[in-house]
Amino acid sequence: MVTADEEPCPYPPSPNPVRAGELKAAFMGNKMNGTSIETLTMATLETEYGLTDEDDRKKIVYAVKDILKKDNSGGNTNDWQNFLMWLLPLAGMAHWISMRYEKQIAKLMKRYRKWQEARAPPKALNSEPVPEGEKNEWIEGINSDVGGEKKKAVKKTKKVQ
């Protein structure tokens, strides 16, 4: 029976329920710790702790394996949560500083670009003159609409009757 302060068990009841107090006393008696819990097997649970029901043994072993897998995982949710909890305030501070000192940052960036160009000036474009009689395919058609003859606009008049 579930009391008000207990949560219901997500697993269906087994025909041979094991009391948590009995296993706790057995685990504490054997000085079960983190390193020895990794070596826990179904056979160990049956021989040393007297768990005869296979379902109970599977629940314990698979729960332990799941916990160990989550602890050893590189993508642990807690790690990402801690990372984001530290990152968000720092990103907010960086955003506030960039908004507050936007003009000064722009001035410094302009100075930095000038310094970089003075240090390594950009290479000039290869602007060799085109020999006479040949066409430069890069600029052919550019400004072709400028410099030609202007077309006269035709005025339309209305006939009055």
> pLDDT, tens digit, for every residue of 27-43?
777 777 777 777 888 88
> pLDDT, tens digit, for every residue of 43-93?
888 887 777 788 888 888 888 888 777 766 665 566 778 888 889 999 999
Q: Cα 104 vs. chain centroid, distance in angstroms?
A: 31
- How many residues are there in the chain? 161
Q: Where does the pLDDT of residue 104 fall: very low under 50, low under 70, confident under 90, or very high at 90 and above?
A: very high
Backbone φ/ψ region at 146: left (φ over 0), alpha (ψ -120 to 50), beta: beta
Determine if the pTM surpasses 0.75. no
